[in-house]
Amino acid sequence: MTMTVFKTAEIVASAILFLLIATEEGSAYLFEPNCGTANITYKIPGKADADIFLNPWMVLVIGEANCGGSLINSRFVLTAAHCLSSSPMKARFGDYDTEHSGEDCMPSGDCIPSAFAIDVDKKISHEDYDNFKADIALLRMRSTVKFSEHVRPICLLVDEQVGTISHFNITGWGQTKEGGKLSRILKTGTQSEVDSTKCAGRFKLFKTQVDSFHICAGSSNSSACGGDSGGPMSAVIAYQGTLRHTQFGIISFGLRSCRGLDVHTNVSYYMDWIVHATKTYSV
């Protein structure tokens, strides 16, 4: 499958908004119990660079072109189906500055260890994937990913019941403007959920209908762009008394201008598929 590099608007400075949304006790469980914990700090509005310690689940998916992805357990990465390529693929963990081969450090002197890559030995796209419909895929690693403070999975809620989430975080190494270079530094931004009918109207020429299987989102100054495909759309929720970064969407597609609304695959509608596929291909 040839990868399509197709993203949406410019990732620019934005504060990370943390949503403290309590789940109903007993109504949901975590796909991976040891997930979603990282430094929970607020960023100063106007800074586009992600916190070097805040996204240990971010994965640089390397194929015919680069995409984003998220570590969801010790063997699997969640990404967009249109990111899969027929050529060999790798997943790079613990990355921040993609052009730096050693430790990545902050001006304060705080550092994270060097990133490392693992070969992908199984590519699993959803059976209904077609032209951004069911744009979800799993990558199985050839070897188990060892969790650490700097490499750990993001949370996925199974049978989730959470309050309304109006704002989300998006993260990636994509372009910061149409036709620009991919970012060497991991970027982040905040988006608000938008009524899906607005996305349906803007993308009416697409063969894929924007519906409840998607999350329509946008911002006046923060969206995804080329190279961000497959990355997580997340929020911080309070789960049984602990704040956890939790993924709700996968960056899928948007306007070629890299300005405007974005469409994300709605992860909650595919949790049964994720659970089944990871069990089926875990060996």
> What's phi and psi for 196, nearest 5 deg?
-60, -20
pLDDT band at residue 128 using 50, 70 and 90 as cut-offs = very high
Is 119 within the bounds of a domain?
yes
Q: Which residue's entry shows tokens 């410019």?
A: 10
Mean pLDDT estimate for the chain = 83
User: In the predicted model, is pLDDT for residue 42 greater than 50?
Assistant: no
Is 219 within the bounds of a domain?
yes
Report the CATH number that the domain containing residue 35 is assigned in CATH. 2.40.10.10
Alpha-carbon span 65 to 116, nearest angstrom: 18
pLDDT one-digit tens code per residue, 244-265: 999 999 999 987 777 778 999 9
Residue scoring higher pLDDT (104 or 10): 104
Distance of CA 31 to the CA centre of its chain: 16
Alpha-carbon span 199 to 187, nearest angstrom: 24
Is 15 within the bounds of a domain?
no
Closest CA to 236 of 140, 155, 122: 155
Number of domains in the chain: 1
Alpha-carbon span 212 to 197, nearest angstrom: 10
Is 197 within the bounds of a domain?
yes
Average pLDDT over every residue of 12-35: 57
Average pLDDT over every residue of 218-239: 88
Is 155 within the bounds of a domain?
yes
User: In the predicted model, is pLDDT for residue 23 greater than 50?
Assistant: no
Is 211 within the bounds of a domain?
yes
Is 5 within the bounds of a domain?
no
Is 17 within the bounds of a domain?
no
Its domain, for residue 199, covers 29-103+111-280
Q: Which residue's entry shows tokens 């032209």?
A: 131
* pTM assigned to the model: 0.86
Amino acid at 36: G
pLDDT one-digit tens code per residue, 190-222: 899 988 888 888 887 676 788 889 999 988 777
Q: Are 75 and 144 in contact (CB under 8 A)?
A: yes
